Amino acid sequence: MPILSMSYFERATMSEQERVLFVHAHPDDESISTGGTLATLVERGAQVTVLTCTRGERGEVIPAELQHLLDSHHALASEREGELTAALGALGVTDQRYLGDANARWAGREPRRYLDSGMVWGQDGAEATGVLDPDSLTAADFGEVASDIAAVIADIRPHVVISYNDFGGYGHPDHIRAAQAAERAADVYDIPFYAVEPDSSAATPTITVDVSPVLERKRAALAAHRTQIVVDGTNFALSNGVSQPISEVEMFRRVHRVHPHGLTPFAEQSVGVKIFAAVLGLAVGIVVGAILTVAHEASVTIGGLPIPYGLIAAIVIVTCLLVGLRLVFGTRTVAAAAAAGLVIAVAALSLRSAGGSVLVGQTSSGFVWAIAPTLIAVIVVGWPQLPSRSRDKIGTPQTK
């Protein structure tokens, strides 16, 4: 069975190196829930980035000889930074960033440090603490958190973003905030988002990854987080002391966004729908191009000045058609197909017929019309896809 190859995560082209962004809340989360997948991706030549939102300042400490770390959040954070470096070294990951650092911060903002929000155990699992540090991840403005994640997405341009499910795996408020912000940022850039699904999840995974070939590397990564995890053979335990097997399977679920009025974006449509839309766009382009070629020479004289209203109207119609198709479908594909149809129609009807007549004459209007559709198509289709960064999406960047 293939593991995280073309049949798993969407990629631009088969020759392009796969880029995957993992967004985790604390050091150790990356090894517990995705360690095997990280190692597998690295082995297959993917470019893997692990974005860690906090340094786990308020985590628990298991070893007796390290209990003194609980006296200082700074000391525990420093220890856990070292553990994370060792764990990612075992997994082969070389690109790790902390949210809020200069390489994971929205442009124009001074770097900041998001702190571990902490948690307490409640009847339904992990819950937020009663007292929340104003610098903690969950106390931060949601738009700011999502914007900082978006800055990493803009930098590395991943094919896939991976974080937790809606429950954050087990309810930790930092996990929930990280997942929500990562999904929002991925939505802004129209990148597929996958949620890690734990073994206890009732959700049906989209991808099930067999990590048994890299299990020893996952085990080494877990062991590196010695303040948080005790590894015993093929089992591990957290601070609750409950022993559990190191999972040989890691599961992920593709999260399909809920869109207004039940509309599904073009990027998420089936291949058949995409082909049909492209063919329809081509046909529309040919028909519109033919009609406008016939009508473009129309003019009227006003005050002795000829006004080529046919050419003006044709250029406006072509521009509106291509821009509208690109905006409505949110992709270059349909607009490019329509542009191709326009250019084909204009080119075909510009040829001289057997009788010598021509629809596109050797006039100023004919010359402009011969090149205008192609020029408009190049501009509209080639224009970069600019993601919306409105406040309801990821917040407006603040300038210091």
Per-residue pLDDT of the chain (400 residues; tens, 9 = 90+): 334 443 455 544 445 689 999 999 999 999 999 999 999 999 999 999 999 999 999 989 999 999 999 999 999 999 999 999 999 999 999 999 999 999 999 999 999 999 998 876 666 666 556 667 889 999 999 999 999 999 999 999 999 999 999 887 777 899 999 999 999 999 999 899 999 998 777 778 889 999 999 999 999 999 999 999 999 999 999 888 889 999 999 999 999 876 555 556 676 666 788 899 999 999 999 999 899 988 888 888 888 888 888 889 999 999 999 999 998 887 889 999 999 999 999 888 887 665 544 677 777 888 888 888 999 999 998 887 644 444 344 544 343 3
CA separation for the pair 74, 84 (Å, rounded):
15
pLDDT of residue 129: 65
* Residue owning tokens 């400490």: 61
Closest C-alpha to 336, from 378, 385, 371, 384: 378
Cα dihedral across residues 312, 313, 315, 316: positive or negative: positive
The helix (run of H) or strand (run of E) holding residue 354 is none
Tell me how far apart the alpha carbons of residues 319 and 372 are, in angstroms, rounded to a whole number.
10
Each residue's pLDDT tens digit, 138-176: 999 999 999 999 999 999 999 999 999 988 777 789 999
Pairing of β 47-52 and β 125-127 = unpaired
Q: What is the pLDDT of residue 164?
A: 94
Q: Give which of 253, 252, 268, 103 is closest to 191, Cα–Cα.
A: 268
- Contact between 274 and 333 under an 8 Å Cβ cutoff? The reply is yes
